[in-house]
Amino acid sequence: MNLIPTAIADVIICEPRVHGDHRGFFMETWRESSFATIAPGLRFVQDNHSKSGKGILRGLHYQLQQPQGKLVRVIAGEIFDVAVDMRRRSPTFGRWVGVTLSADNHRQLWVPPGFAHGFLVTSDSAEMVYKCTDYYAPQDEHSLLWNDPALGIDWPLAGPGMPEPVLSAKDRDGRLFIDAVAYDDR
């Protein structure tokens, strides 16, 4: 697996070796020994599978008491995946990274615990699967406002056929970054 650094050192693009021919392809999507070099001491406890239509924007979500690291990949379609550093003592606190993940590029994104996570579907539909280092705890979930000017996330919303983002009530009512609880506030 090729590990590609991003503007935030702890967020890593994982690019698997894809072996293909006229019959299709094979790739290894996760190996415990390789993952241990990226996130020593962490293990995955839950796998999730999500399907969404074009223009669906989910996030930016994070948990404080049960922070989740996520290894995200797309198995159909394309998304713009975003991680926001919510670790107050981090030199990159409040900064974000966005990466296009698709079934075609086979890339995965490692989003460590301590980050808010969200995505926008840029294809007609997209299916993503992601491994989590802790269990989903709805009572512990927090949401940042996806379009907070203080974050300045450059969501790919312009262009032909790209609708206004479709949001849940929770995401529409997310907190501004300045009012959000960060990891070191606990």
CATH number, domain of 8, equals: 2.60.120.10
pLDDT of residue 30: 82
DSSP H stretches of helix in the chain: 32-38, 169-172
Alpha-carbon distance of 132 to 45, in angstroms, equals 6
pLDDT of residue 163: 73
Q: Which domain holds residue 131?
A: 2-185
Residue 186 has pLDDT above 60, yes or no: no
- Per residue in 118-137, pLDDT (tens digit) is 999 999 999 999 999 999 99
pLDDT of residue 185: 64
Map tokens 């995505």 to a residue. Answer: 119
Tallying the residues shown for the chain, one arrives at 186
**Candidates 61, 106, 117, 183; catalytic one:** 61
Cβ proximity of 93 and 86 under 8 Å: yes
Number of domains in the chain: 1
61 is catalytic: yes
62 is catalytic: no
Whole-structure pTM value: 0.93
List of residues 6+ apart from 70 with CB closer than 8 A: 109, 110, 111, 117, 130, 131, 132, 133
Higher-pLDDT residue of 19, 109: 109
- Per residue in 146-165, pLDDT (tens digit) is 999 999 999 999 766 777 89
Alpha-carbon distance of 42 to 61, in angstroms, equals 20
Map tokens 């979500």 to a residue. Answer: 61
**Candidates 106, 117, 130, 183; catalytic one:** 130
pLDDT of residue 31: 82
Alpha-carbon distance of 140 to 6, in angstroms, equals 28
In the chain, the amino acid numbered 68 is Q
pLDDT of residue 88: 94
